[in-house]
């Protein structure tokens, strides 16, 4: 049976821990320039319906460094679901490639792609979630803290695809997760209930960011208007008043908290330039670790680890 990685919950807790250990090992091998080419003679199709910097670069570079070849298919190449049915593309691409990475609007298209593909499919973001990002994020937290005990992560901003992946992770690993968002911008209701019902992590929604961040180890934010919502950007700037991660909010943790953002950041909108540039900010470690976490995920899915 081929495996896919469309949600963090597609992996067990043990597999998530194994992925972090493998990411650490492969990261060291790449830093040491070891001759390690598990993907020799392998190809990966990367289907992008949306723009990207980190996802494209980290997947393409990572796969190349492990001996493989990655093919970038931009929004106008395949036009998935428009020029051609998702289920047809799934089977065609599977005939040429060993693995598929897809960044799509519709999460349902991602599910359909995986259903019809005969090779593993990795989710590089949909409107619903962004599992590779949050795997890289937790790996980054593990690197910085040395452990994941007594961890409080407070996300401040839009209850979007990033939050849904944090809530999925909370179903597998124990930590305290708070989403501080305006009332009309809550995370997916079903995902939130599932995270609560898993009974592993404490998960909360708050509408009071200054109070929510108290004792936070991590303060995390993301853009207020995601890809596909940019026409709402001005309206959202008004509705998200009070939810900016600025120096005052960081001070309200009362702790030496770390700042994280999946990037790209809109400076002086959801967070300030001063926070991004502060010593608390680990956003570039986080960006680098996309590559290492994804390499580990690909190695596991392709039966190389
Ligand atoms: N964080 C992230 O996924 O960045 P890109 O949209 O640039 O890929
Ligand atoms: N929520 C953002 C994440 C970008 C990496 C978006 O979907 O645009």
SS3 of 103, please? strand
The per-residue pLDDT for range 212-223, each reduced to its tens digit, is 999 999 999 999
Write out the residue range of the structural domain in which residue 164 sits: 134-283
The per-residue pLDDT for range 59-94, each reduced to its tens digit, is 999 999 999 999 999 999 998 889 999 999 999 999
The per-residue pLDDT for range 43-60, each reduced to its tens digit, is 999 999 999 999 999 999
CATH of the domain at 49: 3.40.50.1370
Q: Are residues 216 and 113 in the same domain?
A: no
Q: Are residues 250 and 291 in the same domain?
A: no
Backbone angles phi, psi at 48, to 5 degrees: -115, 115
Residues in the chain: 305
> Ligand 1: which of 55, 104, 140, 282 to mutate, judged by most atoms within 8 Å of the beta carbon?
55
What's the rounded Cα separation, in Å, for the pair 188 and 203? 13
- In DSSP terms, 69 is beta-bridged to 43
- Residue whose CA lies nearest to ligand 1 atom number 4: 54
- Per the annotation, the verdict on 262 as an active-site residue is yes
Q: Are residues 126 and 140 in the same domain?
A: no
**Residue 178 CB contacts under 8 Å (≥ 6 apart), including other chains:** 152, 153, 154, 155, 203, 204, 205, 206, 212, 216
Catalytic residue chosen out of the listed positions 132, 179, 262, 302: 262
Per run of 10 residues, the mean pLDDT along the chain (length 305 residues) is 97 98 98 98 98 98 98 94 94 98 98 98 98 99 98 98 99 98 98 98 98 98 97 98 98 98 98 98 98 99 96
Q: Are residues 253 and 152 in the same domain?
A: yes
Does residue 3 lie within any of the structural domains? no
Residues with CB under 6 A from ligand 2: 125, 160-162, 222-223, 226-227, 262
> Ligand 1: which of 74, 102, 125 to mutate, judged by most atoms within 8 Å of the beta carbon?
125
Q: How many domains does the chain have?
A: 2
Q: Are residues 154 and 107 in the same domain?
A: no
Q: Are residues 73 and 213 in the same domain?
A: no
What's the rounded Cα separation, in Å, for the pair 92 and 90? 6
């Amino acid at each position: 049976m081929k495996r896919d990685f469309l949600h963090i919950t597609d992996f067990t807790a043990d597999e998530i821990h194994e992925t972090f250990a493998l990411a650490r090992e492969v990261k060291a091998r790449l830093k040491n320039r070891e001759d390690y080419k598990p993907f020799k003679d392998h190809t990966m199709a990367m289907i992008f319906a949306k723009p990207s910097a980190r996802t494209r670069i980290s997947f393409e570079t990572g796969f190349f460094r492990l001996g493989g070849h990655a093919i970038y298919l931009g929004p106008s190449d395949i036009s998935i679901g428009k020029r051609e049915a998702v289920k047809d593309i799934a089977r065609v691409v599977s005939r040429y490639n060993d693995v598929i990475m897809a960044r799509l609007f519709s999460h349902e298209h991602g599910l359909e792609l995986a259903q019809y593909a005969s090779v593993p499919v990795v989710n590089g973001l949909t409107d619903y979630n962004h599992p590779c990002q949050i795997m890289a994020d937790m790996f980054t937290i593990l690197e910085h803290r040395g452990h994941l005990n007594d961890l409080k992560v407070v996300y401040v901003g839009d209850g979007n695809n990033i939050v849904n992946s944090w809530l999925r992770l909370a179903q597998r690993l124990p930590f305290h997760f708070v989403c501080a968002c305006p009332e009309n911008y809550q995370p997916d209701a079903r995902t939130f209930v599932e995270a609560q019902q898993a009974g592993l992590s404490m998960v909360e929604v708050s509408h009071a960011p200054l109070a929510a961040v108290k004792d936070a180890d991590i303060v995390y934010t993301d853009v207020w208007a995601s890809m596909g919502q940019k026409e709402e950007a001005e309206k959202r700037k008004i509705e998200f008043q009070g939810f900016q991660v600025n120096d005052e909010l960081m001070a309200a943790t009362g702790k030496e908290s770390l700042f994280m953002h999946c990037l790209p950041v809109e400076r002086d909108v959801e967070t300030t330039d001063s926070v991004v540039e502060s010593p608390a900010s680990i956003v570039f470690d986080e960006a680098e670790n996309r590559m290492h976490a994804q390499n580990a995920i690909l190695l596991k899915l392709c039966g190389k680890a």
